Structure 1
Amino acid sequence: MKHTDQAPNGRNPVRTSPTAVGIVPKPNHITDGEGEFHLNAATVFIATGDAHAEASYLADYLSHAAGFPLPVHETEDASDSIVEMRIDPSDTRRGSEGYRLTVTPRRTEIVAATPAGLFHGGQTLLQLLPPTVYGASPIEPQDWTVPCVEIDDSPRFAWRGAMLDVTRHFLSVEFVKKFIDLLALHKMNVLHLHLNDDQGWRIEIKKYPKLTTIGAYRPETLVGRAMQDPSDRDFDPCQQEFDGVPHGGFYTQDEMRAIVEYARVRHVQIVPEIEMPGHAQAAVAAYPELGVSDHTEGVTCIATDVSQVWGIHPTLFNASEETFAFLQDVLTEVMEIFPSRDIHVGGDEAVKTQWRESPSIQARMRELGLEDEHALQSYFIGRMDTFLTQHGRRLIGWDEILEGGLAQNAAVMSWRGEAGGVAAAEKGHDVVMADHKHTYFDYYQSEDRSSEPLAFSNTLTLATVYHYEPIPEALAPEFAHHILGAQAQLWTEYMPDSKQVEYMALPRLAALAEVTWTDAAHKDFTDFGERLSVHFRRLDALHVNYRPTHFDERKDRV
């Protein structure tokens, strides 16, 4: 590739060498060209119709770092430096999120069938520029070069996401927006928000204010690792050590609408999760009538409070019509905030002890003609499935919702391995793969834990994430189209603040982005490591507290 010593406007250009481009995730088709494009104060963006919003977003983003405005015009300009962004609905061969990016010395062109495709093309253009474009403050010199190239690109999977647990530790609106930016940077398009659990309820529900006045706050938090599950019969909360520091918070509906809009602009959909029938302790603490009050199971001393400990809890919602009405009221308000097709209802780790030992629940099961507690959970989830379907939405839940029979319209998030995903896909249900062995980012990042912060006891290395194949070998090819994609899980028991979330997420999130975007045949772990060294400089500019990785394939496989 040829380089000149001086930019046309006399400034010294900031160059990105062809060997250091480092696009993450890796484009599926890239062809190097000759020469370079200069982006400077003379550059003009051209866009019309729906493309104008995408061009304005990209131009504004670049302007912050460049220190000068980049105008967006609707008609051709005489400038020697043009960035054209165009939607061509007839060009559908790349799907709804693909794009073509062509860089020549005087013109850069991004073409896609949809605004989402244009946005992803814009993210690639940003990565072709020096990492300093990600800085918030203007820099000198104000002339950047882009290597001439043609990129024809589209994602392998439609669902490329991450789950963020804001219940165990509450995370600010500002950080949630920053996390959305990180997803967009990596061309990931789903943020799954885990909004309630035993340790806190995090979203305002106007009909039930005590969910946040009571359910959003706990008086203190467990120190160190959870040694027992609260569902164990011999669990003794008095033997645990606590920090004595109150913790809590919640998002108002206005705040959450602002987050949804922020994500929409970046082509990230937010999938809300309201856990049921388990992980219900914060809700039951706020409204005790929702719980199982007549069980004989011995763990009762923590059931009336928002939990201060980690682990699987025994507290379940009861199965009364009043409780179903409560949950449907909650989902109604949630649907008014979140436009996503999918609404997550949890369904995992619902220990059935309270139901099994409750006379009222057993009577309810006989009334409904249900054989056992698994059938009751299936009935419970089925009621929510019918309700959501009537409102034009789709229920999605963790793979335990398969137990007792899968609801008719449900999708499954397979976390306990591949078996749940295979079973659901073979029944004709869509599946998001969330196998804990490859996607649980709350696990340690190295077997050498001496310098690592406290985490769940398992290990998930960068290499293990990168080599993940979301389509199970056991799945017959005719059902593979039901695998929508995969997502990372960031459970925050041991992530007390946003910096720790960033440390546990990255660079593993970058690896999973490549798993879900790049065709398997085009992936290469060594090449990924080389690109990651450039990518870290982008994360530095964004002030991301990623885990430093001295890349070595052999070592990272340990």
Structure 2
Amino acid sequence: MIPRPNLLNDLSGSYELTSGAAISGPEDLVDAVRLALPVLDLRPGDAGAVDLRHDPALGPEAYRLVVGSRGVEITAGDRAGAFYAGQSLHQLLPPASYRFSAEAAWIVPGVRIEDAPRFSWRGLHLDVARHFFPKREVLRLIELMGMHKLNRLHLHLVDDQGWRVESRAYPRLHEVASHRSRTATNHYREPEAYDEIPHGGYYSLDDLTEIAAYARARAVTVVPEIDVPGHAQAILAAYPEFGSSDDDYQVLERWGITPAILSPMPPTVEFLTAIFDELIGAIGETPYVHIGGDEVVLDHWAASPEITAYRDSLGLSSMGELQAWFLRRLADVLADRGARAVVWDEAFVSGELRHDTLVMPWRGMGVGRRAAAAGHDVIATPVFPLYFDYAESASADEPMAIGDAITVADVAAFSPAPDDWSGEERSRVVGAQAQLWTERIPDPRTLDYRAWPRACALAEVAWSGSAAADFPARLEEHLGRLDAIGVEYRPLDGPKPWQRRRPHRPATVRVAEVMKRVDSMTHDAESTRPSV
């Protein structure tokens, strides 16, 4: 079973679950279990093969599952707990139970499971800006997340290469900024090359409403990201008046960091407030909105007399302090709407944030520890080992990736709250999240290959706190479930012939080289951090 339950004891006896069997209990819990076991088409009834009870004392997302000769008993702390109990019950059945059939009957072994998550944030990040993934693929990813008890889908909705959601207040965002004329095909440090194929797409607000509702039903929270003030070239291609220079911007066709940056002036805050209102209106009440804050080039601000004067009027002494002020202002806007801001770690290093802002330390757990020590909740997101756009080996057979190598074993060995942190620092770690940046993930088949089975290891670590010694053996069995569903994961022994890279393989960058670079970025930023 993946993730491993806190307690799993075998019991004598078993029970045969058949298609159309009755399930009884509170309606919302019944609906949750039925979603987890669609192949059985469980029917609500007064008394059933599956008996559901609600016990809030168990806590959020917690459940107890007992199977014996008289049937199945589930006690859940909330709807999410009932859904996860259903997922665990499903994993007690053979892999064939993940295939649809007209009739089904399965023997469930006697068992007692008591379970609750170690971390509240168990996330996957999907970058839909570099390459757009249609709604159907997002819904499918949500299904797979629910199966693995992953509960945060972080959607990176905008970057220099594209804007991916409808805006009725600012329609040029989806009319202009949602597509580019071509896409870079060169790899790291190669001469530029392009495919000359237009690329684009966006989600309507109705799509976003559907995605969020579909996710909530499966205990997944959608976390939208509008990355500002940098990574803004697509926004400025549509609305240059919110920029900090007179440059003529087009939606970016290549990868990398650019100097494109939004102005910090009040009209920009008003613009982003309107966007946040549209997002929250579409998603519904949401506890989190990500506002980015990463890889910001402040040159255009420094060169602008108007922005310099505005900074001085606020009593700030540097552009780094102005960036911190800008992000804090946006966090205040979100707080007024009942949402907490989430940022990448540069936003923490650049200056003081709202106390309730969550920090994602992508450049390593060292900066994550500093954020935790400063009183911020932290979501572990380090490049190594949680950037799943990296290849799983250095083999020439691997499809093009940003670098190599991050393996399943690397993910399974990760500790989101390291033992050498203080108890207070460890308590600030609310979870872990893997990142799927899509410069080198152009389509759903590649997404499957990059995400799975590494996301299985993430699920284990984020739910249980660490991977058990028997994880590799359980993963071997679990792959049969992924086969039944149709997930085109990377085999443990390497890619299948049709998954392999084309013969030409340019030089790639190793993880060790990347980590040296991000460490230097962190130290450089820390040395220029304004005093508090």
Q: Is the shorter-chain TM-score for this pair beyond 0.5, marking a shared fold?
A: yes
Shift of 1:187: 0.4
1:307-327 superposed Cα distances (whole Å, 9 cap, x missing partner): 000011110001221111111
Asked if residue 103 in structure 1 is aligned to residue 49 in structure 2, the reply is: no
Shift of 1:241: 1.1
For 1:112, the aligned partner's letter is A
In 2, are the aligned partners of 1:193 and 1:273 still within 8 Å (CA)? yes
Question: Percentage identity across aligned positions?
Answer: 41
Cross-structure match for 2:77? 113
1:527-557 superposed Cα distances (whole Å, 9 cap, x missing partner): 1111112211111111111000039xxxxxx
Shift of 1:41: 4.2
Cross-structure match for 2:42? 70
Shift of 1:474: 4.9
Cross-structure match for 1:7? none
Secondary structure in 1 aligned to 2:430?
strand
Asked if residue 537 in structure 1 is aligned to residue 480 in structure 2, the reply is: yes
Shift of 1:154: 1.0
Mapped to 2, the partners of 1:399 and 1:519 lie a distance apart of 22
Secondary structure in 1 aligned to 2:426?
helix
Asked if residue 159 in structure 1 is aligned to residue 159 in structure 2, the reply is: no
Secondary structure in 1 aligned to 2:492?
coil
1:500-535 superposed Cα distances (whole Å, 9 cap, x missing partner): 011000000000100011143xx334x111111221
Cross-structure match for 2:9? 31
In the alignment of these two chains, the number of paired residues is 494
Mapped to 2, the partners of 1:35 and 1:547 lie a distance apart of 37
Secondary structure in 2 aligned to 1:480?
helix
Cross-structure match for 1:443? 390
Cross-structure match for 1:431? 378
Asked if residue 198 in structure 1 is aligned to residue 160 in structure 2, the reply is: yes
Q: How does 1:252-331 map to 2 (within 5 A)?
A: 252-294=204-246, 304-331=249-276
Secondary structure in 2 aligned to 1:403?
helix
In 2, are the aligned partners of 1:38 and 1:106 still within 8 Å (CA)? no
Secondary structure in 1 aligned to 2:473?
helix
Moved more, 325-334 or 269-278: 325-334
Cross-structure match for 1:528? 471
Shift of 1:70: 3.1
TM-score by length of 1: 0.85
Mapped to 2, the partners of 1:176 and 1:275 lie a distance apart of 20
Q: How does 1:114-513 map to 2 (within 5 A)?
A: 114-138=78-102, 142-227=104-189, 240-294=192-246, 304-338=249-283, 339-408=285-354, 409-448=356-395, 450-513=396-459
Secondary structure in 2 aligned to 1:444?
coil
Shift of 1:395: 0.8
Mapped to 2, the partners of 1:284 and 1:137 lie a distance apart of 51
Mapped to 2, the partners of 1:202 and 1:405 lie a distance apart of 29
Q: Which consecutive unaligned segments of at least 5 residues does structure 1 have? A: 1-22, 64-68, 229-238, 295-299, 552-557
Change in CA separation of 1:247 and 1:136 when aligned onto 2, cut-off 3 Å: farther
Mapped to 2, the partners of 1:406 and 1:342 lie a distance apart of 19
Secondary structure in 2 aligned to 1:50?
helix
In 2, are the aligned partners of 1:50 and 1:87 still within 8 Å (CA)? no
Moved more, 159-168 or 385-394: 385-394
Shift of 1:203: 0.6
Shift of 1:371: 1.4
Larger radius of gyration, structure 1 or 2? 1
Shift of 1:473: 4.4
Shift of 1:50: 3.0
TM-score by length of 2: 0.89
Mapped to 1, the partners of 2:325 and 2:390 lie a distance apart of 33
Change in CA separation of 1:444 and 1:58 when aligned onto 2, cut-off 3 Å: closer
1:178-226 superposed Cα distances (whole Å, 9 cap, x missing partner): 0001110100110000000000000111100000100000000001214
Change in CA separation of 1:372 and 1:111 when aligned onto 2, cut-off 3 Å: same
1:156-199 superposed Cα distances (whole Å, 9 cap, x missing partner): 11100110100000001000000001110100110000000000
Secondary structure in 1 aligned to 2:350?
coil
Q: Which consecutive unaligned segments of at least 5 residues does structure 2 have? A: 495-511, 513-532
Shift of 1:304: 1.0
Mapped to 2, the partners of 1:532 and 1:226 lie a distance apart of 33
Mapped to 1, the partners of 2:456 and 2:204 lie a distance apart of 31
In 2, are the aligned partners of 1:433 and 1:470 still within 8 Å (CA)? yes
In 1, are the aligned partners of 2:39 and 2:99 still within 8 Å (CA)? no
Change in CA separation of 1:365 and 1:41 when aligned onto 2, cut-off 3 Å: closer
For 2:61, the aligned partner's letter is E
1:64-115 superposed Cα distances (whole Å, 9 cap, x missing partner): xxxxx53211x225xxxx11122122x32xx211111101023111111111
